[in-house]
């Protein structure tokens, strides 16, 4: 039932083609013959490597009935999990948390989806924190079907952590000195997407700009230092609004407002 059953149905070609009107008897038998291997493959991501499958195919008039009774059997247990992090990020709390909270522990059953998600989290943290040269020097699931056990071996080399370089601001509205009040990045600061988002949010919330783009492309790095480019599109200087209404006590009424977002280059 659940996700296991859904994956079996998604893998079974005979199920996928069940509504086709041009199925021949030979095609049906061929699909049925392939079903056993497809079912086994669909069970393996959930750790089931010893299923018992009873398959029957019967024809009644012009209709075929394929039936599969599946006993998945026990999921293969994980007997060892070894996750190692080397490189500049070995002591980074974000990576240490991934190691300490790895979602599969010895004694639990093997689930390939959980393992892949855990592996992708290392890639995500590396991208978020500027370890753009991170690589897996080993990523293995060692499966012993005779002893019916599995081991997970994951070695991560974070490489160096990239840093921010100079912040270049492209705009022609406000003075550079005034805009620098919103910039809290400094050259040499360790890269993080959170710092870039904070800068973008601060500039967007200032109400001076219609569009704010903050870019730090690792491909432009020199000696692991990435320049930051900020492109600002000013909003219209003035905003007008009008409204009308009617009150039983006051009669008709109107309202008009005018707001000027900036007066000069100093942000007044």
pLDDT at 56: 96
SS3 of residue 220 by DSSP: helix
- pLDDT the model gives residue 67: 96
Q: DSSP letter at 46?
A: G
Write the pLDDT tens digit of every residue in 235-248.
Answer: 888 888 888 888 87
pLDDT value, residue 81:
97
User: Does residue 261 surpass a pLDDT of 80?
Assistant: no
Facing residues of 50 across strands? none
pLDDT for res 83: 97
pLDDT bin (cut points 50, 70, 90) of residue 220 is very high
Q: What integer best gives the mean pLDDT of the chain? A: 93
Mean pLDDT of 62-82: 95
The per-residue pLDDT for range 170-212, each reduced to its tens digit, is 998 888 888 889 899 999 999 999 999 999 999 999 888 999 9
Residue 29 pLDDT grade (very low, low, confident, very high; cuts 50, 70, 90)? very high
Query: 166 and 146 in contact (C-beta within 8 Å)?
Result: no
Torsional class of 258: left (φ above 0), alpha (ψ -120 to 50), beta (otherwise): beta
Strands (E) across the chain are located at: 52-60, 63-71, 78-86, 135-144, 149-157, 163-170, 209-215, 225-234, 238-247, 251-260
pLDDT of residue 240: 83
> Mind listing the pLDDT tens digit for each residue in 103-154?
999 999 999 999 999 999 999 999 999 999 999 999 999 999 999 999 999 9
How confident is the model at residue 216, as a pLDDT?
95
Q: What is the pLDDT of residue 61?
A: 85
pLDDT at 142: 96
Q: Closest Cα partner for 40 from 72, 74, 79?
A: 72
């Amino acid at each position: 039932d659940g996700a296991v059953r859904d994956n079996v149905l998604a893998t079974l070609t005979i199920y996928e083609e069940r509504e086709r009107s041009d199925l021949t008897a030979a095609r049906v038998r061929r699909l049925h013959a392939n079903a056993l291997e497809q079912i086994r493959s669909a069970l393996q991501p959930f750790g089931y490597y010893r299923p018992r499958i009873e398959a029957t195919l019967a024809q009644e008039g012009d209709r075929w009935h394929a039936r599969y009774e599946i006993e998945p059997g026990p999921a293969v247990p994980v007997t060892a999990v070894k996750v190692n992090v080397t490189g500049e990020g070995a002591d980074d709390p974000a990576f240490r948390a991934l190691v300490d909270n790895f979602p599969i522990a010895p004694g639990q059953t093997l689930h390939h989806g959980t393992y892949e998600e855990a592996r992708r989290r290392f890639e995500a943290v590396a991208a978020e924190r500027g370890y753009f040269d991170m690589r897996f020097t080993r990523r293995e699931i060692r499966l012993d079907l005779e002893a019916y056990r599995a081991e997970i071996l994951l070695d991560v080399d974070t490489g160096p952590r990239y840093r921010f370089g100079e912040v270049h601001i492209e705009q022609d509205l406000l003075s550079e000195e005034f805009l620098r009040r919103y910039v809290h990045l400094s050259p040499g600061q360790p890269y993080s997407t959170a710092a870039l988002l904070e800068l973008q949010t601060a500039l967007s919330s200032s109400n001076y700009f219609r569009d704010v783009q903050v870019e730090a492309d690792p491909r432009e790095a020199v000696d692991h230092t990435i320049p930051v480019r900020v492109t600002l599109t000013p909003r219209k200087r003035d905003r007008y609004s009008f409204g009308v209404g009617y009150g039983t006590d006051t009669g008709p009424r109107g309202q008009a407002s005018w707001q000027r977002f900036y007066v000069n280059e100093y942000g007044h």
